[in-house]
Amino acid sequence: MAELLDDHPSLSTVPAAAGELDVPEPPPPLDETSRARAVLAAQPVVEGHTVLPPSLDPEDLPPVRAREAGAQFWSLHVEADEGVIGTLRRIDAVRALVAACPEDLRLAHTTSEMAHARNCGRVAALLGPVAWTALGGSAATLRAYQALGVRAAGLTRFDRFARDAVREMNRIGLAVDLSGADQDTVRRTLAVTRAPVLLTRAVPEEFPDDVLGLLGENGAVCMVTVTDDPAAVADVLDRVRAEAGPHCVGVSHTTAPAVGYVPLFAELLRRGWPAQELVGLAHANVTRALRETEFLSRTNRIRPAAA
Amino acid sequence: MSAAADRLAEARELLAGHPVVDGHNDLPWALREHVRYDLDRMDIGADQTGALHTDLARLRAGGVGAQFWSVYVPCRLAGDDAVSATLEQIDIVDQLLERYAGELAPALTADDMEAARGQGRIASLKGAEGGHSINNSLATLRALHALGVRYMTLTHNDNNDWADSATDEPGVGGLSAFGRQVVREMNRSGMLVDLSHVAATTMRDALDATAAPVIFSHSSALAVCDHPRNIPDDVLERLPANGGVAMATFVPKFILPAAVEWTARADENLREHGFDHLDTTAEAMKLHRAFEEENPRPIATAATVADHLDHMREAAGIDHIGIGGDYDGTAFTPAGLDDVAGYPNLIAELLHRGWSHPDLAKLTWSNAVRALRDAEAVSRDLKSRTAPSNATIDAVDALDAP
């Protein structure tokens, strides 16, 4: 893979015997758009935020199989008054959707299953995040969601329950999603969690540089929303890359699905991002964060469950 | 003496090969009430005699090979609270399974039950007690199945929106249209329909609606003891066609006519003095104790349970009966069946009455395992032909309204 992305693909490295053949003109170097396309063709994006359509008429299935996506987090967000039942309904609906599209989607509970889905040519469906309000302040509910396949829970307010809940999430292997949390909540959560956090709908503009630095130390992934203005998104990503590190960038979703991710990736190439960092942006960073969460859980499971 | 001792030894030997599948044990709720789920403070790996009916040593002594642990929540919890509490009940069973993995084996299928028996571990299944646990949501029903719940009692002591309870006033008159939909979705999921606690009208409606065997996780025979929690003969007689299993319970106030009558008089006594019959305040309890001193509480025995099993066997057939003690869900138990170590006494009583070994093996083990296996087959079939239902009670029952 990396060879394909190296800066100057060229045939001239093969020495031709002088005089025997006309050395062909080396092809022109690929332009950034072509290279971005090549990256995305081989490195499908893990999208942090996918929303279930309001109605699930099989006749009217949404374009679930986005061209450039390899895995998608399906948001289980509910309003505060919908609670546990609303969340269980959404889990059930995503499962029904995946069951209705076996050629396109496959439910994945682990990073291994994500890779397996991709190897089978399916888009991996990851359940989560669930809304913090849907936990009802109960660690048992957290464990029930985990048992039902949920991979992440959104923490937006660091209350008394949150400290124990974050530790329990570390123990059972649920990622903490800090999308929408203020910087105070982010700081307090990072002081507790031992696993990398996710921001499936990150808005890094809201955080000062030192918070981005803390996220970098944690190994967090800031998954940013891609718009039809690649330069503006690249500015945001450049800042996250500078302050948190290249291992902290990721993609939430695109508001311009017709265009996709190629213009952004081309823009980043023009700005000198090495290909390997684009692979991280596309999927490797979030996969690494999820895998670390799984590893930590396996070593933590010997501890008793939290009350 | 020696004949009785021989029978007890014979019963134990029989249970070693065909241990008891018990339909209902309320240990999870007892752990919630006594110690707020703090398993360090109530360790069933140690002797809990006096505190609980259930601990691991006594389960073993009782010859229990499979237990449906009830993830009961009371009817006073409604809506999301009932669902959350049910998740907590499920979670504590999972914690028990993790903590006592050497003795308890998680079981989701009939094959799992057989495997656990082979390993000498107690197959542990979960049963929900009351349709309020799904708050009228079929998606929640499927979530409970995914979390390992393998039966749901359609009601507890109160009616819910779609099914009538045996101990409430008639509501929808059995099962509503949505209630029938719940039964079919349970069939499709592979969750056994449990008809304990429900009104006779609900039993009949459910038997009409179900495509899979039903169970009664803890109910006895109405013909032997006239209490609404028991099963009328016409329903027992339908079990052969359905393939289901009625699991006889041990609760004295349901199975011993004298205890039914005594309970009615004790309740009446409380009401005469201006208390509710469920009142547990100090004043009410004092009055109740005085009543109990003057009127000794009638004592049920293993023979009382055997009387029910004899009749249920006549009405439903040997292939359609089982055992569901309701330990830790009832304050009083029959003499000789005081706790989960007591099952051998019941088997010895049945041996005394001439039950054969193959018959007893069906009663203790095979019938219940078969019912679950048959429900799994129905589920596979329905899943291959039908999609999950997302019907809502508002839509279904409104259409059905006259």
In terms of Cα–Cα distance, which of B223, B222, A169, B197 is closest to B214? B197
**Candidates B83, B97, B149, B383, partner chain A, best to mutate (most A CBs within 10 A):** B83
Q: What is the pLDDT of residues A35-78, one digit of tens each?
A: 999 999 999 999 999 988 776 555 555 555 557 899 999 999 99
Q: What is the dihedral of CA A222, A228, A230, A231, to 10 degrees?
A: -110
- CB interface of B with A, residues 126-185, below 8 Å: 135, 137, 139-140, 142-143, 146-147
**Nearest CB to B80 within list A84, A91, A148:** A84
The 3-state DSSP class for residue B301 equals strand
Q: What is the pLDDT along chain A (307 residues), one digit of tens a residue?
A: 444 444 444 444 444 455 566 777 877 778 999 999 999 999 999 999 998 877 655 555 555 555 789 999 999 999 988 889 999 999 999 999 898 888 889 999 999 999 999 899 899 999 999 999 999 889 999 999 999 999 999 999 888 899 999 999 999 999 999 999 999 999 999 999 999 999 999 999 999 999 999 999 999 999 999 999 999 999 999 999 999 999 999 999 999 888 899 999 999 999 999 999 999 999 999 999 999 999 999 987 766 666 6
Hunting for tokens 């000498």 — which residue is that?
Answer: B120
Contacts A305 to B, Cβ<8 Å: 91, 95, 98
Instruction: For residue B157, count other CB atoms closer than 10 A to its CB.
Output: 14
- Residue found under tokens 């995305």: A40
Whether the predicted pLDDT of B13 surpasses 60: yes
Q: Is B237 a catalytic residue?
A: no
Sign of the alpha-carbon dihedral angle for B53, B124, B96, B128 = negative
Going by pLDDT thresholds of 50, 70 and 90, the confidence category of residue B72 is very high
pLDDT per residue as tens digits for the range B87-143: 999 999 999 999 999 999 999 999 999 999 999 999 999 999 999 999 999 999 999
Structure tokens at A258: 């017709």
**Has B326 been annotated as catalytic?**
yes
First to last CA, chain B: 65
pLDDT the model gives residue A257: 85
pLDDT tens-place string over residues B378-387: 999 999 999 9
Q: Which residues in chain A are closer than 8 Å to B142, comparing Cβ atoms?
A: 92
Q: What is the pLDDT of residues B38-54, one digit of tens each?
A: 999 999 999 999 999 99
With 0-12 / 13-18 / 19 or more C-beta atoms within 10 angstroms meaning exposed / middle / buried, residue A306 is middle
Q: In this complex, do B139 and A91 lie within 8 Å of one another by their Cβ atoms?
A: yes
pLDDT for the residue A103: 87
Q: Which of A56, A84, A91 sits opposite B83 (nearest CB)?
A: A84
pLDDT at A66: 58
pLDDT of amino acid A94: 93
DSSP type of residue B389? P
Residue owning tokens 């707020």: B36
Q: What pLDDT does A19 receive?
A: 53
Q: Output b/e per residue, B333-352; b: 16+ Cβ within 10 A.
A: bbebbbbbbbbbbbbbbbbe
**Distance from C-alpha of B46 to C-alpha of B191, rounded to nearest angstrom:** 33
User: What mean pLDDT is reported for chain B?
Assistant: 96
Task: Retrieve residue B86's tokens.
Answer: 């049910």
pLDDT per residue as tens digits for the range A185-219: 999 999 999 999 999 999 999 999 999 999 999 99
Question: Can you tell me the distance from the alpha carbon of A121 to that of A118, in angstroms, rounded to the nearest whole number?
Answer: 5
Stated as kind and residue range, the H or E segment containing A71 is strand A69-76
Measured between alpha carbons, how far is B316 from B379 in angstroms, rounded to an integer?
Answer: 24
Q: What is the pLDDT of residues B145-187, one digit of tens each?
A: 999 999 999 999 999 999 999 999 999 999 999 999 999 999 9
Res B28 pLDDT > 90: yes
Instruction: Count Cβ neighbours within 10 Å for each residue of B246-284 and write b for 16 or more, e otherwise.
Output: bbbbbbbbbbbeebbebbeebbebbeeeebeeeeeeeeb
Phi, psi of A223 (to 5 degrees): -95, 115
Put simply, whether A137 touches B (Cβ < 8 Å) is: no
For B140, the closest of A88, A96, A305 (CB atoms) is A88
Please provide residue B59's backbone torsions phi and psi, each rounded to the nearest 5 degrees. -60, -40
Catalytic residue among B18, B156, B227, B311: B156
CB spacing of A96 vs B83 below 8 angstroms:
no
- In angstroms, rounded to a whole number, what is the distance separating the alpha carbons of residues A87 and A294? 23
Catalytic (active site) residue B24? yes
Instruction: Name residue B216's beta-bridge partners.
Output: B246
Interface of B with A in 83-112 (CB under 8 A): 83-84, 87-88, 90-92, 94-95, 98-99
Interface of A with B in 140-179 (CB under 8 A): 140-141, 143-144, 147-148
Residues of B whose CB is below 8 A from A138: 84, 87-88
